[in-house]
Amino acid sequence: MKTLEHIDFNNKKALIRVDFNVPLDADFNVTDTSRIDAAKPTILKVLEDGGAAVLMSHLGRPKGKVNPDMSLGHIVDTVSDIIGVQVKFVSDCIGQEVQEAVSGLQMGEVLLLENLRYHEEETTGDESFAKALSENGDIYVNDAFGTAHRAHASTTVVAQFFPNQKCFGYLLAKEIESIAKVMETGEKPVTAILGGAKVSSKITIIENILDKVDHLVVGGGMTYTFVKAKGGSVGDSICEDDKMELALTILKQAEEKGVQVHLPVDVLAADDFSNDANTQIVAVDQIQDGWQGLDAGPQTLENFKSVILQSKTILWNGPVGVFEMENFAKGTIALGHFIDEATQNGAFSLVGGGDSVAAVKQFGFLD
C-alpha cells in the first residue's frame, strides 16, 4: 500500500480528494467538523514537506447543477481555522479560472475547489472530466474514505491519470489497515455482527467474511428473512421474501465453512412501527400477524453477549433494532456495551456503516 510516507511533496502540488461533505445549519455554519479534522494530518504532511494542497470534494447532492446552498465556499473559514492556513477558494473545479488559481498557488498554500458534483460528470465517472481534474495537481492523494468505494471521476477515474504519482492519505490508509486487522490478521475468535434493515444490502459483506470469521451474529431487520426461510412466523416484520433462498444458502455455506451463526431467539415485538406502539417479548419464530420485531429480546442479548465476550476480533455493521426510536434502541445500546467490554479486555473492534457509527456516537461509545 503506497501511502504519504512514500512521497516527498517538496515543490509539488498535491491534488487531494477529501470528504468535506459536512453538515451545515440554516446559516451555513458547519455543525460537525469531524471530516475536516480527519483530513488535517494529510494536508499538513503535504505542507510540511514544502508542497501545496489543492483540495477537492463534494457537498450534498446538487445533481449536476450549480446550487449555492451546497457551495464549498461556506466552509472555507472553518477549514482555514482547522488547518491553520488561510484557504483560498475558486468557484469551480475545472476550467480556466481554476487553472490560473492552481498555477498561481505558492508552496505552503491551500486551494479549495468548488463542489465536484456541480458537474454530473463527477458521479458518472466521465474520463474527460477526470482528466481536466487531474491537471490541478502533480500528485494525486485519495483521502476520501466515505466515497472511496465509488467509481467517480475524482476517485477511481482521476487516479488513472497519475500512473505513478499517487497514494492514499492517512485517513484512508488507516481504514485499510483496520479492515486488514479484521479480515487478514485478526486474532481468533473473529466475530462479525451484522444488523440493519436488509439482507440484500449486506450480501456482499456476508459473502466476503464467511471465509474470515468464526462467528456470525445476525440481528436487526435482516433476521426475519432468515427466520421465515427456516419456516418461522415473522408477522409483519420487515422481510425480503425474494431473499429467503439466499438466506438458506448463506446458512448452508456457513455450516460448510465451520462458521457458527447466531440468530436472535426472542425479540421485542410491536403492534405498530412507532415508538408508542404496544410491545411484547416473543419467540423470534412465533410473531403474530399485526406484530413486528423491532429490537432484540433479552435472551438474544445474553447469547450475543457470551459470543462477543469470548471474541478477540469484532466487526460490527448494522444496528440490531430500530435504534432511532428510543423504545427500540436498547438492544443496540446493549450490544455497544458488550463490544466496549470485549475491547477493554483486549479485543480489537471495528465499527462500520453510517447508521452504526451514528449509534456509536449517539450512545457514547466513540472512545
Choose the binding region for ligand AMP from 194-202, 208-216, 240-248, 334-342 (rule: CB under 6 A). Answer: 194-202
H/E stretch holding 280: strand 279-283
CB count within 10 Å of CB 108 equals 13
- Pick the closest to residue 94 from 143, 135, 46, 45 (CA basis): 135
Helices (H), the chain: 34-48, 76-83, 96-103, 121-124, 127-134, 158-159, 170-183, 203-209, 223-229, 244-256, 298-309, 330-344, 354-362
Asked if residue 221 binds ligand AMP (CB under 6 A), the reply is yes
The pattern of x and - marking residues 268 through 297 that bind ligand AMP according to CB under 6 A reads: -------------------------xx---
Strands 266-270 and 292-296, bridge-based pairing: antiparallel
Give me the least distance between CB of 259 and ligand AMP, in Å please: 20
Give me the least distance between CB of 202 and ligand AMP, in Å please: 7
DSSP for 8-40, written as a single string: --TT-EEEEE------B-TT--BS--HHHHHHH
Tell which positions 37-96 bind ligand AMP, by CB under 6 A: none
* Of the candidate residues 268, 318, 347, 351, the single one contacting ligand AMP (CB under 6 A): 318
DSSP for 201-221, written as a single string: TTHHHHHHHTTT-SEEEE-GG
Asked if residue 355 binds ligand AMP (CB under 6 A), the reply is yes
Asked whether the beta carbons of 133 and 77 are under 8 A apart, the reply is: no
Asked if residue 110 binds ligand AMP (CB under 6 A), the reply is no
Of 186 and 353, nearer to ligand AMP (C-beta) is 353
Calculate Rg over the CA atoms of the chain: 23
Asked if residue 265 binds ligand AMP (CB under 6 A), the reply is no
Q: Would you state the cell numbers that stand for residue 283, as one nine-digit string? A: 419467540
Give me the least distance between CB of 171 and ligand AMP, in Å please: 22
Strands 266-270 and 279-283, bridge-based pairing: antiparallel
Distance of alpha carbon 353 from alpha carbon 197, whole angstroms: 12
* Of the candidate residues 109, 120, 272, 324, the single one contacting ligand AMP (CB under 6 A): 324
Asked if residue 186 binds ligand AMP (CB under 6 A), the reply is no
Cβ-closest position to ligand AMP: 196
Q: Cβ neighbours of residue 252 under 8 Å, at least 6 residues apart?
A: none
Asked if residue 220 binds ligand AMP (CB under 6 A), the reply is yes
Give me the least distance between CB of 298 and ligand AMP, in Å please: 16
Asked if residue 139 binds ligand AMP (CB under 6 A), the reply is no
Asked if residue 238 binds ligand AMP (CB under 6 A), the reply is yes
Of 51 and 195, nearer to ligand AMP (C-beta) is 195
Asked if residue 353 binds ligand AMP (CB under 6 A), the reply is yes
Give me the least distance between CB of 57 and ligand AMP, in Å please: 23
Of 33 and 233, nearer to ligand AMP (C-beta) is 233
Q: Would you state the cell numbers that stand for residue 271, as one nine-digit string? A: 403492534
Which positions touch ligand AMP (CB under 6 A)?
195-198, 201, 220-221, 238, 293-294, 318-319, 321-324, 353, 355
